Structure 1
Amino acid sequence: MAEKMMQFVTIGQNYPDKRTAEERKKDFNEIYARFTIEKAQEQASRCEQCGIPYCSVACPVNNNIPDWLRLVAAGRLEDAYHTSQETNTLPEICGRICPQDRLCEGLCVLEQSDHNAVTIGAIEKFITDNAWEQGWVKPPQPLKELGQSVGIIGAGPAGMAAADRLRRKGYEVHVYDRHDRVGGLMVYGIPGFKLEKDVVERRAKLLEDGGVTFHMNFEVGRDASLKELRAKHNAVLIAVGVYAGRKLEAPGADLENIFPAMYFLTASNKKGFGDEVEAFDNGTLNAEGKNVVVIGGGDTAMDCVRTSVRQGAKSVTCLYRRDRANMPGSQREVENAEKEGVNFQWLSAPKSFKGLGKVQKVEAVSMHLGFADASGRQSVKEVPGSEFELDADIVIEALGFEPEDIPTLFGEPDLAVSRWGTVDVNKETWMSNLDGVFAAGDIERGASLVVSCIKDARDASDAIHKYLRTQARASAAE
Structure 2
Amino acid sequence: MAKQPMLKFISLERSMPTKRDADQRSQDFHEIYAEFAKTKAAEQSSRCSQCGVPFCQNHCPLHNNIPDWLKLTAEGRLQEAYELSQATNTFPEICGRICPQDRLCEGNCVIEQSGHGTVTIGAVEKYLTDTAWENGWVLPIQPKAEREESVGIIGAGPGGLAAADVLRRQGVQVTIYDRYDRAGGLMTYGIPGFKLEKDVVAKRIAQLENAGVQFVLNCNVGEDITFQAIQGQHDSVLIATGVYNSRDFQAPGSGAEGVVRAIDYLTASNRKSFGDIVPEYESGELNASGKRVVVVGGGDTAMDCVRTAIRQGAMSVKCLYRRDKANMPGSQREVQNAEEEGVEFVWLSAPKAFVGDSVESVLVQKMRLGKPDASGRQSPELIEGADYAEQADLVVAALGFTPEDLPTLWGEEALEVTRWGTIKADFRTHETSIPGVYAVGDIVRGASLVVWAIKDGRDAAENILETFNSAAVLAAE
Q: Percent identity of the aligned residues?
A: 58
Aligned residue number for residue 445 of structure 2: 445
- 1:370 aligned counterpart, secondary structure: strand
Aligned residue number for residue 315 of structure 1: 316
Is 1:13 equivalent to 2:3 in the alignment? no
Aligned residue number for residue 192 of structure 2: 191
Q: Deviations over 1:352-398 (max 9, x none)?
A: 1111x211110111111111123312111011111111111111110
- Structure 1 outlier segments of 4+, above 4 Å: none
Q: Deviations over 1:209-243 (max 9, x none)?
A: 11111111111112221111111000000001001
Is 1:371 equivalent to 2:368 in the alignment? no
- 2:251 aligned counterpart, secondary structure: coil
Relative to structure 2, which stretch is displaced further, 448-457 or 417-426?
417-426
Q: Deviations over 1:254-305 (max 9, x none)?
A: 2121111100000000000000111111111110000110000000000000
Is 1:398 equivalent to 2:398 in the alignment? yes
Aligned residue number for residue 64 of structure 1: 65
Aligned residue number for residue 86 of structure 1: 87
The CA distance in 2 between the partners of 1:35 and 1:16, in whole Å, is 5
CA-based RMSD of the aligned residues comes to 1.1
1:159–1:175 Cα contact (<8 Å) kept: yes
What amino acid maps onto 1:229 in structure 2? I
Aligned residue number for residue 161 of structure 1: 162
- 1:106 aligned counterpart, secondary structure: helix
- Where do residues 219-368 of structure 1 align in structure 2 (5 Å cutoff)? 219-355=220-356, 357-368=357-368
Q: Deviations over 1:325-371 (max 9, x none)?
A: 0000001100110111111000111111111x211110111111111
- Where do residues 196-211 of structure 1 align in structure 2 (5 Å cutoff)? 196-211=197-212
The CA distance in 2 between the partners of 1:167 and 1:96, in whole Å, is 25
What amino acid maps onto 2:277 in structure 1? E
1:162–1:457 Cα contact (<8 Å) kept: yes
- Where do residues 128-147 of structure 1 align in structure 2 (5 Å cutoff)? 128-147=129-148
Aligned residue number for residue 106 of structure 2: 105
Is 1:120 equivalent to 2:124 in the alignment? no
The CA distance in 2 between the partners of 1:21 and 1:211, in whole Å, is 42
The CA distance in 2 between the partners of 1:183 and 1:32, in whole Å, is 22
Q: Deviations over 1:93-124 (max 9, x none)?
A: 00000011111111101111110000000000
- 1:100 aligned counterpart, secondary structure: coil
- Where do residues 28-43 of structure 1 align in structure 2 (5 Å cutoff)? 28-43=29-44
Q: CA deviation at 1:170?
A: 1.7
Aligned residue number for residue 423 of structure 2: 423
Q: CA deviation at 1:414?
A: 2.3
The CA distance in 2 between the partners of 1:373 and 1:258, in whole Å, is 29
The CA distance in 2 between the partners of 1:155 and 1:295, in whole Å, is 28
The CA distance in 2 between the partners of 1:158 and 1:440, in whole Å, is 6
1:225–1:412 Cα contact (<8 Å) kept: no
Q: Deviations over 1:181-221 (max 9, x none)?
A: 11100010000000000000011001111111111111111
The CA distance in 2 between the partners of 1:155 and 1:360, in whole Å, is 38
1:402–1:446 Cα contact (<8 Å) kept: yes
Distance 1:11 1:269, change over 3 A: same
- 1:350 aligned counterpart, secondary structure: strand
**Structure 2: 5+ residue runs without aligned partners?**
none
Is 1:456 equivalent to 2:421 in the alignment? no
The CA distance in 2 between the partners of 1:429 and 1:459, in whole Å, is 7
Is 1:465 equivalent to 2:473 in the alignment? no
The CA distance in 1 between the partners of 2:40 and 2:52, in whole Å, is 25
The CA distance in 2 between the partners of 1:249 and 1:222, in whole Å, is 30
Q: Deviations over 1:127-150 (max 9, x none)?
A: 000000010101222222221101
- 2:106 aligned counterpart, secondary structure: coil
Aligned residue number for residue 77 of structure 2: 76
Aligned residue number for residue 27 of structure 1: 28
**Structure 1: 5+ residue runs without aligned partners?**
none
1:371–1:379 Cα contact (<8 Å) kept: yes
Q: What TM-score, normalized to structure 1?
A: 0.98
Distance 1:451 1:2, change over 3 A: farther
